[in-house]
Structure 1
């Protein structure tokens, strides 16, 4: 245990600047997830409509992720700082939205800022992995989960104290602005590798992107709908509802920090396959829960399993493409993968509208299992 902890701390020390960016993104989504029931109630829309509004995120996300490699070259060492500042300012918009149209526009802007930040921080970690010749991705994604869990718990307390989304989001935005000061980080200069050949590495990019997509769709389902599931299906209070995404964040942090050590022993593909079975079991338990406590256990098990799949998918594509294509490859994988954060809420909103949240979580558990055949195909690449 002590050796594992030292490995995690060493990994975070080597990647300390992008790790702060992961905390920033976690703070945003943890606070947002805890306030979802209140935001939805203020908008006065159905589950299906709310899910479609969340899909607006994908419009901004895809556009910024496609532009990320070019922006990375233009912004240089200030890229992460600029992206995080824009991210902080965009966070004010959903808290001020009072109708479906303004909320949809706000989520487009949030998606663009989130997408740029995600690509740049993952690219910097992948560069450091190649520089230091050791896995770093799980530890950094663990910091996302730490930020997410802390923000969800504090936001649950804020909701109990009747603090509106606007002031809560403004407080988180201020914290993000302070943390952005520490994100100055020049990207590595990499010359084109003539030995890499002329073929574009499309197959590993698609397979890794689909693996990350499945992982993030499952994760996003719990992030967005777990509070509603506890409060509506299981009659929990606001603070109890906020513990759903908080439990996910805590166990995902534990899983990712543990995965940092495990990935140094076992292959990435073996870890992904085992973790998928664990995640599916947790999703089923959460769906069938009869009380908030059992839902927490289910979300916790799901978090442990799903935690390592997305980071390992991003790490794998960084290993399977030439160095000069790494940022571009990660941006392409991110377009596929991070779209899961917005496709899943919409899909699960439609399922919930017609069949209820319990069936929606069963669908999420089944969806997670599709990562296994994708991983087996990737292993043959």
Structure 2
């Protein structure tokens, strides 16, 4: 495959990840404005935000099955769904309406997450080259840029509806152009006829990969959600410094994923994942015990670099294990299982911080990253299990 052909094949994947990140980067910066326009207090906002995760869990596995059946036609539809759902939080008022809007937003987001990840795995299979870490690096880099841009627009007086409207137009444009499957694109591989077992739970291999991904996501979202709070409340950092915590994490995640994509060309996932988890554990411990804000930011940078590699690599392993005809179902099962860790991470940190201290809770996050390091070699066992 020529470099030009490879670039053309990869462009829709990168643009899908960037479009997805464009919304979520703006969302993080505009959440206070959404809260204000909806007229809800912190408690109502916290309850409404739970609906994002619930909505995603409701659509992830179903989207995987749809991608396996209909192929690349599903991705632009999920982008359109996210474009429509992006407007909802800026249009509603009241806790119940905001919760309903965020449930729809989560459902659309979970569907697009699975569809674009499946497209990346399919491209990896076609090229026989790692790609998913690089695509996730595009996501992380776009989140940084989008969050800074949205913050600047908010400071200039631009409201959330206008910003999300612009994001929706970008998503519609992507769906109508580069995300549309080309004419003559290959259809999904036909499945063999005959009865197939129906599972209430994913296969053991996918449960193992999803469980490891859940640990990685727990560590990742714990730092994304609590890093700034730790700097400000534990280390008395000024607001300008504490706000650098999530940006530092996302920027280092982008760098880590670019490096991880290169390393996967030379090293197998069972060799790379323990090292990445060890880096995350070391960074988490350094940040949790840091005496000053700069030391904590250095630890957060290490944590972001280490955790960034884990989930994309696990999804790649799942897709390779499943084969062409079940790739999307396999990746969606791993993503849905792992997403539970993403949801509970911030809540667990908050509960432990309330019972002990935030510093102690973040030391616990480091311990979980160390546990991931110990368990990561199970990826090799899972990948060798036969499909059934």
Q: For 2:124 and 2:170, locate their aligned partners in 1 and report how far apart those are by CA, in whole Å.
A: 28
Instruction: Compute the displacement of 1:353 (Å).
Output: 4.2
**Counterpart position of 1:132:** 127
Instruction: Compute the displacement of 1:268 (Å).
Output: 0.7
**Counterpart position of 1:189:** 188
Matching residue within 40, 43, 46 for 1:43:
40
**Counterpart position of 1:3:** none
2:25 matches 1:26: no
Greater shift, 53-62 or 164-173, is seen at 164-173
Instruction: Compute the displacement of 1:70 (Å).
Output: 4.0
2:342 matches 1:341: yes
Q: For 2:54 and 2:48, locate their aligned partners in 1 and report how far apart those are by CA, in whole Å.
A: 11
2:210 matches 1:214: no
**Counterpart position of 2:386:** none
Instruction: Compute the displacement of 1:55 (Å).
Output: 2.5
Deviations 1:181-212 (A, max 9, x none): 32113575213369xx9898812111111122
Q: For 2:186 and 2:344, locate their aligned partners in 1 and report how far apart those are by CA, in whole Å.
A: 31
Structure 2 counterpart SS, 1:265: coil
CA distance 1:10–1:149, change in 2 (3 Å) = farther
RMSD between superposed Cα atoms in Å: 3.2
Q: For 2:218 and 2:97, locate their aligned partners in 1 and report how far apart those are by CA, in whole Å.
A: 25
CA distance 1:114–1:269, change in 2 (3 Å) = same
Structure 2 counterpart SS, 1:317: helix
Q: For 1:141 and 1:370, locate their aligned partners in 2 and report how far apart those are by CA, in whole Å.
A: 24
Contact 2:68 2:328 in 1 (8 A): no
Q: For 1:75 and 1:321, locate their aligned partners in 2 and report how far apart those are by CA, in whole Å.
A: 17
| Structure showing greater Rg | 2
**Counterpart position of 2:145:** 150
Report the number of matched residues.
370
Instruction: Compute the displacement of 1:376 (Å).
Output: 2.2
Instruction: Compute the displacement of 1:244 (Å).
Output: 2.0
Instruction: Compute the displacement of 1:39 (Å).
Output: 5.6
Q: For 2:55 and 2:352, locate their aligned partners in 1 and report how far apart those are by CA, in whole Å.
A: 24
Matches for 1:1-381 after TM superposition, within 5 Å: 14-36=9-31, 43-46=40-43, 51-72=46-67, 76-96=71-91, 98-161=93-156, 163-180=158-175, 181-185=177-181, 188-192=187-191, 202-234=203-235, 240-381=241-382
Instruction: Compute the displacement of 1:43 (Å).
Output: 3.5
Unaligned runs of 5+ in 2: 383-388
Unaligned runs of 5+ in 1: 1-7
CA distance 1:189–1:74, change in 2 (3 Å) = closer
Instruction: Compute the displacement of 1:288 (Å).
Output: 3.4
Deviations 1:244-287 (A, max 9, x none): 22211111111111111111111111111001011122222333
